Amino acid sequence: MNPVLLPPTLLAQLDIAVLQRKSGGAFSLIGEPPFWLQQICPELPTDGSPWHPGNYLLYLAHFYEEAEEIWNGEASSQLTSDVWTEEDSTGKEWLLEAIAMKVGQEDLLLIKFPSNDFQTLRSVYQEARDQSLKQYSLLKEIDKREVLLHCTVHDLSAPLAGIRASLWLMHEDKMVQPVGEEFLEIGLDQVDKMQGLINETLTTFSTRSKPLLQSTANLEDAPDVAESVKDVTEALSAMGSLKGVSFRISTEGPEDTAWKVVGDHARLERILFNLLENALRHTRDESMVVIRLRDEGNAIRVSIKDQGKGVPADMIHKLFDKFAQGEGNEKGKAGLGLYFCKITVESWGGEIGCLPNMKDGACFWFTLPKAA
């Protein structure tokens, strides 16, 4: 095949630009230029006189380095480039690829649309990425709301319990006149109704787990904290490996220890996730995060020790407050993580804290009663 003999309009109709390499790195166009090439390079000479496409299609300069091997006859007879995008003078983008080939004595450079149709390829990736962005922000929103909901409900329950106790005392000790007694009973009744509403809100809105203030005390549904630690460290191991951080889990206790605790599976994992992610974030590169599980008879104690800078002593008592880390930009989610851990662990009858005076890293711990 001698490309020079092809009908001049054929190549344009195929939407392929065929360029013949001349001396000095210049090229001349064979046949008529396709529409898109004219859009990208309005100065393109159409009479076959030599020009330098690499000055307009900047990607070509990069491709020439590999194409040289084809044209010098050192490699197999053709080479296809990666795809690239050109913007024309109207702002429209064209996805292109180039092919270097040797036909007889001729060095040829073909420029064309990639074999994968541009619009299809782009729209598939676009759709996939749009969707995954949407999913991400949705999950984030759900997460934020769920945590906020639990915190708010927790905060509502405490004063309500106070009101109830006061009213109850007044009622028990007959502190009010008989006419007032009637109102007291209405008050008590309303407090109970409100507590009921709170519980209902929790069951309705928290789709992923059980209400915060209830937990499983029966053995069958009780979460196994050793299992949960294993699952959560596995989920975080990819992130850890980026920093060169590994997790080590150790258990202390009689051989027949059952690691089942009071609590709810999903929330226990979230507590562990919060604490372990925190440790991962603060530990130095190439270090280890150690998780210890200890059987303390009636309770299980979990401690998480990192090898970071540790928590300054004057910060420890504030760590578990709401919005504790709220330095400037870190409001919202960041400040609720440890607060969530605290109210949840405490609602299950456990304790949580951070050891003071650890020089070689922070050590967070919590205890949970064993499931009976």
Partner 1 sequence: MIHQSSQEVTPNLNLQMTQKKICTLGTSSVGKSSLVARFVKGIFSDSYLTTIGVKIDKKTVSNRGKKVDLLIWDLNGEDRFQKLSMNYLRGTAGYILVVDGTRRNTLDAAISLHHKTQAAIGTVPFVVLINKSDLKDEWEVEEADIADLQARGWTILQTSAKSGTGVEKAFTHLANKLT
Residues that bind partner 1 (CB under 8 A): 24-26, 52, 54-55, 58-59, 61-62, 65, 82-87, 93, 95, 118, 121-122, 125-126, 128-130, 132-133, 136, 239, 242, 281-282, 285, 325, 327-334
Least distance (Å) between residue 287 CB and partner 1: 12
Q: Which is nearer to partner 1, 175 or 239 (CB)?
A: 239
360 SS3 class: coil
| Alpha carbons 297 and 238: distance in angstroms, whole number | 34
Least distance (Å) between residue 75 CB and partner 1: 14
188 touches 161 (CB < 8 A) = no
Q: Which is nearer to partner 1, 80 or 201 (CB)?
A: 80
Q: Which is nearer to partner 1, 12 or 98 (CB)?
A: 98
| Alpha carbons 235 and 238: distance in angstroms, whole number | 7
Q: Which is nearer to partner 1, 96 or 108 (CB)?
A: 96
Q: Which is nearer to partner 1, 6 or 121 (CB)?
A: 121
Q: Which is nearer to partner 1, 84 or 168 (CB)?
A: 84
Nearest to 282 by CA among 226, 228, 213, 361: 361
Write b or e for each residue in 194-205: b if 16 or more Cβ atoms lie within 10 A of its Cβ, otherwise e: ebeebbeebeee
Least distance (Å) between residue 204 CB and partner 1: 27
Least distance (Å) between residue 85 CB and partner 1: 4
Q: Which is nearer to partner 1, 211 or 240 (CB)?
A: 240
How do beta strands 246-252 and 288-295 pair?
Answer: parallel
Least distance (Å) between residue 58 CB and partner 1: 4
168 SS3 class: helix
3-state secondary structure 128-154: HHHHHHHHHHHHHHHHHHHHHHHHHHH
Least distance (Å) between residue 4 CB and partner 1: 23
The secondary structure of 219-250 as a DSSP string is TTT--BHHHHHHHHHHHHHHHHHHHT-EEEEE
How do beta strands 351-354 and 363-369 pair?
Answer: antiparallel
Q: Count of alpha carbons within 13 Å of 295, Cβ hemisphere only?
A: 14
Least distance (Å) between residue 328 CB and partner 1: 8
